[in-house]
Amino acid sequence: LIPNGILYLGMKEGTFEGFIDVGNFDERFSSCYTDAELREALQPRFTVLHSSRVKLRHGELGATFLNYLCKKK
């Protein structure tokens, strides 16, 4: 990413890390993070311009996603 470049990051909120069943006898490795963990990871190289927390009402019950719009330092 170039200096002052823009990054969008969307992650599922939580503390789970491991394999999840995605059907058809297949699994996917998934890691969920807290807002504090993501901000700590972003802070050294990015300025967070905007963030939001979106709770899904349909599909995955109780799933919450964290969204960040960042600018590279």
User: With 90 as the cut, is the pLDDT of residue 56 above it?
Assistant: no
State pLDDT tens for residues 8-55: 999 999 999 999 888 888 898 999 999 999 999 999 999 999 999 999
Check residue 37 and report its DSSP letter: H
At 72 the three-state DSSP class reads: strand
pTM tops 0.85: no
In whole angstroms, what is the distance from residue 47 CA to residue 7 CA? 10
* pLDDT at residue number 60: 56
In whole angstroms, what is the distance from residue 17 CA to residue 2 CA? 31
